[in-house]
Structure formats: C-alpha cells, structure tokens
Amino acid sequence: MAQFSLAPEEKRAAIARLFAAIAPRYDLMNHVMTSGLDVCWRRRACALLPLPPTPLLPVLDVGTGTADLAITLAQRRPDVRVVGLDPSVEMLARGAGKVAQRGLNSRLGLTRGEAEALPFPDASFAAVISAFALRNLTDLPLALREMRRVVVPGGAVLCLELSQPRTPLFATLFRPYFTRLVPVLGSLIAGQRAAYQYLPASVDAFLSPAGLIQAMVDAGLSGVRAVPLTLGTACIHVGLRPAELEYG
C-alpha cells in the first residue's frame, strides 16, 4: 500500500489520518477480528512483564492508542502507575474516556507524543510496554533506542505485535481470513476498508519474530526473548536494559 513507499513525514501524516478515521470503532474491530483474543494477549503481556513488587517509577505504554494495554496493566497491578503516549489525538480522546469510566485517573495518565522522540528523561520508567504499535512507526530502530533510554537499568521493554503464523496448515487457513475477510469487516463495522487492508499489509512488511529480537538487541537490550501466541498469530517480545553496561 501507499504508506510503505512514503517518506517518513508523509508516512507519519498518513498513519495519523488512518487512526483518526478508525478511532470510533477501533476497539470493536480489534475484538471482532481477533474473536476477543486481543484481550487475552494483553493480559498475557502484562503477566509476562517483569516488575518489582512495588515499582517506584511508572510504566510507559508507547503507542497506547485507546489505552487498552495501559488499562489492563493498571487493573491487574493496583500498585503501578502508568503513562500512555500516542501521537493520535482522536485515539487518546477515546482512551481518556475509558480511563475515567474505570476510575483510573489517579494512576493512569495519557499524553501526546512520538515513539521516536519520547518526551521523558533517561531512566524515568520502571518498564516500557507497547501493543500493536511498532509496525506503524517511521523509524523502528530509533524508537527502540528511545524505549531503552527511558527505562531504568535492569528494567524491561515489552512489545506485543501481530505476526505471521508459523504452522503451515493454520497459516494456510489464516491468510485468506486476514487479507480478505478482515478488510470486509473493516468496511462493514468501521466504514474503513482501506485501513484494514493496510493492517495485513503492515504485518507482511514487518519484521519476523527473529528479526524483531535482533532489532531489540541492536537497540541495546539484553536477554530478548519471543513468546508466540495463538499459533504465532501474535508474539510478545521482552528484553532488559542492561544494568551493568551502558550503550551510546
């Protein structure tokens, strides 16, 4: 699709328009097209996130969107404060309503910003998390370095992303659903067929789980591992900022 051939600033603007258009039905589409598995994946990500018993610093959710991952973590860990960051005003507005509805305003704040230029000091978060955000970035290596920069030494960076199923039979069945039926659902539910054509195309264009492991290592994270979910339909990557070694 056109987004993959654009210059960085043009891609950023195109992605902004896309998310502004789908924000009203974004959550519903996520639940429908994954049969509710996206909820399970977020819970699994939060369960795998290594955190101290009572973190002194908040957790940063990069590309928080409508704040589902941030809300999941805040609900599962009442001792944790969360900051959600996203460039989309429309998505953040949806997230803010959900945060208020759940009575989480005292522990979960939302702010606008870009993953490639996080507006926070070094080592200001206990952990950094993201869900379904990395595929949409204009400079993934820079964003991963930024995520490593703002987490404390010894803290975790965790990323939940869609991926290509590795089981041949399941992959054969999954691909027609993902590339043909999901855009139809996007047209019917969200009135945005093109946006949900971009979704499978962005997964196709994104790194493999092994490639993302290497990208996270190249960004200065250690012990990076990948945890596949639902026969490889999604994958959680988690690594640590080394406590004993600093990277430039």
Residue 242 counted as domain residue: no
Residue 189 counted as domain residue: yes
Residue 244 counted as domain residue: no
Task: Give pLDDT, residue 169.
Answer: 80
Distance CA 237, CA 71 (A): 20
Which residues are within 8 A (CB) of 173 and not within 5 positions of it... i.e. 6 or more apart? none
The CB-side HSE value for 221 (13 A sphere, CA atoms) comes to 31
Enclosing domain of residue 53: 2-236
Residue 159 counted as domain residue: yes
The pTM score is 0.92
Identify which has the larger pLDDT, 52 or 246: 52
| pLDDT for 4 beyond 70 | no
E strand residue ranges, the chain: 59-62, 82-86, 108-112, 125-131, 151-162, 222-229, 234-240
At residue 145, the 3 state secondary structure works out as: helix
Task: Give pLDDT, residue 244.
Answer: 64
Task: Give pLDDT, residue 248.
Answer: 44
Residue 245 counted as domain residue: no
| pLDDT for 247 beyond 50 | no
Task: Give pLDDT, residue 176.
Answer: 82
pLDDT digits (tens, 9 = 90+) for 51-110: 988 899 999 999 999 999 999 999 999 999 999 999 999 999 999 999 999 999 999 999
202: domain CATH number?
Answer: 3.40.50.150
| pLDDT for 14 beyond 90 | no
- How many domains is the chain partitioned into structurally? 1
Task: Give pLDDT, residue 5.
Answer: 59
Task: Give pLDDT, residue 3.
Answer: 53
Count of all residues that appear for the chain in the document: 248
